[in-house]
């Protein structure tokens, strides 16, 4: 059995189920309790779980992320939201220097079962300080797991998996996916961390992507089919640990690759994947790997300019044709 719900409600269901299952799980962040989150994901949580498990914080990301790390060290399971992924720069020390490293630096004596939810991405006209896709920054630090769901089923399954994981997990949620309605299973399920999924089988080229760009890649593949090009779409779902076996299997089948991401192209995680494919799968490639990313600019406020700033189906289709010399 399945039901059709939005991505935001799927995340809400995942949080509710885990909080009801385990009283060590608590949530905190700005406007999470009384307001119920700026995207209405936690509306009603305060009434059900009370102020000790649903905490409104001051506007101090470094402070409440540090509190979350301490709580995780003591056996609690904090789920923290930063409202926008852009604000992770305010909490760099507790996340990148503490949460990511404490298990290693304690010789495994303490785990950090902390989840950090980060709404990300362009498209809402939120301008330069509220529109970035910063997954590459999180992926840089050993000790952190990073997931990026593209649909309602994985949004729920991955948030549940993240909460149950003994290590810190960063969940990037694209803001423009929240309103998407999709089918999810009625019964309880978990989406495993570290497993990619082929969204569309193909033989001519592999489109590796994640988050909202999966939908654009699917649209591009459909338009390319009419021109006789058979594209495979690989949704990574998890960026760290990446499913290298899935990437290797797809590249070895199609022998051509583009990597699509909304990130700024310079220093992107797409660049890391491109380098790894070139280093380890060079003999499988018929053409160089191409990255299709956001422009190396500050995200504009102007709707017209912002829409030019990240890959669309037409951009992806054009890149496929370049790689295939079509």
Give the residue numbers marked as catalytic. Answer: 130
CB 284 within 8 A of CB 313: no
- Beta pairing, strands 205-209 & 197-200: unpaired
**Dihedrals phi, psi of 44, to nearest 5 degrees:** 90, -10
Query: Cα(116)–Cα(107) distance, rounded to whole angstroms?
Result: 23
Supply 154's token pair.
Answer: 């994985």
Tokens of 173: 């949620």
List for the chain the helix, strand, coil content (%; round to 5). Answer: 40, 20, 40
Contact 251, 281 (CB under 8 A): yes
**Rounded CA separation 169/318 (Å):** 35
CA–CA gap between residue 26 and residue 53 (Å, rounded): 4
For residue 10, CA distances in Å to 15, 16, 180, 218, 256 come to: 9, 10, 10, 21, 34
Start-to-end C-alpha separation, the chain: 43
Q: From residue 119, how far is each of 61, 89, 151, 208, 255 by CA, in Å? A: 14, 14, 14, 21, 34
Q: How far apart are CA 72 and CA 116, in angstroms?
A: 12
Q: Categorise residue 8: left if φ over 0, alpha if ψ from -120 to 50, beta otherwise.
A: alpha
Widest distance between CA atoms in the chain: 60
């Amino acid at each position: 059995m399945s039901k059709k719900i939005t991505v935001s409600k799927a995340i809400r269901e995942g949080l509710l189920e885990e909080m009801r299952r385990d009283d060590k799980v608590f949530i905190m962040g700005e406007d999470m309790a009384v307001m119920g989150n700026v995207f209405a994901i936690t509306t009603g949580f305060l009434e059900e779980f009370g102020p000790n498990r649903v905490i409104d914080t001051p506007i101090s990301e470094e402070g409440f992320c540090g509190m979350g790390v301490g709580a995780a060290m003591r056996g609690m399971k904090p789920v923290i939201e930063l409202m926008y992924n852009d604000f992770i720069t305010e909490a760099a020390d507790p996340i990148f220097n503490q949460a990511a490293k404490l298990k290693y630096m304690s010789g495994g004596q303490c785990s950090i079962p902390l989840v950090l939810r980060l709404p990300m991405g362009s498209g809402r006209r939120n301008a330069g300080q509220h529109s970035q896709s910063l997954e590459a920054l999180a992926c840089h630090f050993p000790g952190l797991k990073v997931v990026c769901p593209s649909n309602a089923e994985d949004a729920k399954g991955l948030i549940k998996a993240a909460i149950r994981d003994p290590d810190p997990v960063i969940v990037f949620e694209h803001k423009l996916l929240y309103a998407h309605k999709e089918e999810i299973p009625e019964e309880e399920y978990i989406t495993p961390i570290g497993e990619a999924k082929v969204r569309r089988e193909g033989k001519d080229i592999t489109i590796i992507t994640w988050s909202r760009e999966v939908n654009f890649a699917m649209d591009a593949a459909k338009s390319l089919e009419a021109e006789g090009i058979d594209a495979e779409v690989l949704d990574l779902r998890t960026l760290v640990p990446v499913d290298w076996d899935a990437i290797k299997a797809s590249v070895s089948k199609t022998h051509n690759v583009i990597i699509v991401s909304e990130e700024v192209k310079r220093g992107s995680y797409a660049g890391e994947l491109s380098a790894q494919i070139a280093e380890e799968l060079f003999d499988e490639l018929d053409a160089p790997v191409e990255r299709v990313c956001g422009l190396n600019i500050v995200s504009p406020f102007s709707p017209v300019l912002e829409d030019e700033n990240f890959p669309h189906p037409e951009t992806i289709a054009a890149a496929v044709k370049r790689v295939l010399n079509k």
